[in-house]
Amino acid sequence: MKQSKQVFFLMTLILLLMSSGCKDKSALLAKTWMVNDLQYTTEVPKEMQPTIDKSVAEMRNSFRLTYNPDGTYKTQMNDQLLEGKWKMNWNSTIITSTTDKGATKDFKVLELTESSFKFEADEGGEKVIFVMIPAK
């Protein structure tokens, strides 16, 4: 009997420690973000680098991603607007977005602070890391 109480106490302590380290970062995400940089997980061929650099420069000027506290989001690039819903998993490592047409996609959160948001996306089989900063 005494051993089962010790096991119960130990398990409770472990759960408390685990949950205290897992902070919901949804409030940090709720703002408008802009692209600061794109990073590729595989090497970009040298002849493609100018095209990539031009695309990143265009995205800095025209791409905005807004996460609202009510669980909705809006993505805008030039005149194109996409809307949907978002939710973050229990330990703030995955954002699941669902478009207004019902398509669902997961994004791996690599960093989320007040001034920086990095996430990994699978774009056509290529993993791309979006480095975002708050929009001006």
Q: Which of the two residues, 65 and 16, has the higher pLDDT score?
A: 65
**More confident call, 44 vs 88:** 88
pLDDT digits (tens, 9 = 90+) for 107-119: 999 999 999 999 9
Pairwise CA distance, residues 31 & 81, whole Å: 17
Label residues 113-128 b or e (16+ Cβ within 10 Å = b): eeeebbbbeeeeeeee
Q: Which runs of consecutive H residues, i.e. helices, occur in the chain?
A: 2-21, 26-29, 49-62
pLDDT at 123: 81
Q: What is the pLDDT of residues 2-56, one digit of tens each?
A: 666 565 555 554 554 444 445 678 899 999 999 999 888 888 889 988 988 898 8
